[in-house]
Amino acid sequence: MTTTAATRSKRKALLGRKIGMTQAYREDGKWVPITVLEVGPCTVLQVKTPETDGYAAIQVGFGETLKAAAWPQQKLFQKVKTRTKKFVQEIPPVEAATVYRAPLFSEVGGTVEYLHLTPGGNLIEKKVPRTKLILRAVKSQPAAAPVEGKESEAAPAGGQEPAAPQAPDAPSAALAVKNMSGSVLKEYALPPGSSIEVANGATVADGDLLAYVVVKEPVAQVSPGCQIGVGLFTGTGRVDVSGITKGKGFQGCIKRHHFNAGPKSHGSKNLREPGSTGMHTEPGRVLPGKRMPGHLGAAKRKARNLKVLQIDPEDNLMLVTGSVPGPNGGFVYIEESLKKK
């Protein structure tokens, strides 16, 4: 949360998570290594202005956790009615057109975390692992597809009415669990007249919203509680991605500084030794900055000028070529490249 050069710059920036690496084809048929990044949605926690704070920036949070944060931060999260964010950073100011408001989990369903489907003695417990997972009780005809399309995500917020009008006297109900790309993960058929019970005791009728659905409403002004998605980077050709590299522990000179190893045989006792560290009585000390064994990794590093291959604003995914620092699932800071466009 410190004021860095990046926050003072005007570069577009956002927080995200490294999902992992894979391969993809370019149009000319060549393989490229790609990293899949989940970029946003970041919740605006605080808007800093030159008048009040001496500089302009937006403090955003990413990555939800159920744990409580330190008290001062916790109050910040409470103010914008959001869960504790694991990764909080400042980004340069953004235009209001790139920001939207979405119903926060706490506004929509509160504590809907575990679902129990009670009818027919069919008890199913399902944890909602991702905020993007859409759990929706849908009334439908037995033959008709009980799945709501992606358009339903554009339904009005508030969560009591599903987008698609459903016949009130539909003979049976189904619960569709969709993943972020809209394909159905699992479908539960419910007996007629059944209800879905939520873990906290509340009863949900057919058609009720059970979990977080991303509904994007445009806003006129960037204010706390707003969301910024990967759409911010529309038109960006190259990005810099910084993260905390994997920790390697205490390492020798060969791994840490790419020293050359000594001979393995002929009586050599110099296999992975660092060698001489300096001169003789003059200067009689080791010069500062001498490269030696020590701790390697777990440091902030930046991968620069990664080409943006694809942006998926629906799923908040960004595909970049090459690798980015850190383990899969690690938090990353993504910003527009300075050097190349």
Q: Is 179 in the site for other proteins (CB under 8 A)?
A: yes
Report in angstroms how near the CB of residue 331 gets to other proteins at its nearest: 16
Which CB atom, from 36 or from 45, has the smaller least distance to other proteins? 36
Site for other proteins in 212-251 (CB under 8 A): none
Among 35, 102, 46, smallest CA distance to 76 is for 46
Alpha helices, DSSP H, located in the chain:
5-8, 50-53, 71-79, 105-108, 253-257
Report in angstroms how near the CB of residue 176 gets to other proteins at its nearest: 17
Q: Is 319 in the site for other proteins (CB under 8 A)?
A: yes
Q: Is 328 in the site for other proteins (CB under 8 A)?
A: yes
- Order of strands across the sheet with 184-190? 134-140, 172-178, 184-190
Q: Is 24 in the site for other proteins (CB under 8 A)?
A: yes
Q: In this chain, which of 147, 175, 317, 320 binds other proteins, going by CB under 8 A? A: 317
**Interacting span for other proteins (CB under 8 A) from 20-28, 108-116, 249-257, 269-277:** 20-28
Matching residue, tokens 């302009």:
56
Neighbours of 271 (CB within 10 A): 11
Q: Given its phi and psi angles, is residue 169 left (phi above 0), alpha (psi -120 to 50 degrees) or beta? A: alpha
Site for other proteins in 81-140 (CB under 8 A): none
Q: Is 28 in the site for other proteins (CB under 8 A)?
A: yes
Distance CA 132, CA 118 (A): 24
Q: Is 181 in the site for other proteins (CB under 8 A)?
A: yes
- Written as six digits, the tokens of 116 are 């129990």
Report in angstroms how near the CB of residue 292 gets to other proteins at its nearest: 38
Strand pairing report for 249-251 and 294-296: antiparallel
Which CB atom, from 34 or from 45, has the smaller least distance to other proteins? 34
- Contact pattern from residue 30 through residue 59 relative to other proteins, giving x for each residue in contact according to CB under 8 A and a dash for the rest: -x----x-x---------------------
Q: Is 19 in the site for other proteins (CB under 8 A)?
A: yes
**Interacting span for other proteins (CB under 8 A) from 143-151, 160-168, 173-181, 222-230:** 173-181
177-211 burial code (b ≥16 CB/10 A, e <16): bbebeeeeeeebebeeebbbbbeeeeebebbbbbb
Report in angstroms how near the CB of residue 281 gets to other proteins at its nearest: 59
Report in angstroms how near the CB of residue 35 gets to other proteins at its nearest: 10
Distance CA 92, CA 55 (A): 10
Which CB atom, from 253 or from 319, has the smaller least distance to other proteins? 319
Report in angstroms how near the CB of residue 24 gets to other proteins at its nearest: 5
Report in angstroms how near the CB of residue 305 gets to other proteins at its nearest: 22
Q: In this chain, which of 96, 155, 163, 180 binds other proteins, going by CB under 8 A? A: 180
Report in angstroms how near the CB of residue 180 gets to other proteins at its nearest: 7
- Written as six digits, the tokens of 99 are 């920001």
- Order of strands across the sheet with 227-228? 84-91, 57-65, 42-48, 227-228, 99-101, 217-218
Among 229, 224, 214, smallest CA distance to 81 is for 224
Interacting residues toward other proteins by CB under 8 A = 19-20, 22-25, 27-29, 31, 36, 38, 179-181, 315, 317, 319, 328
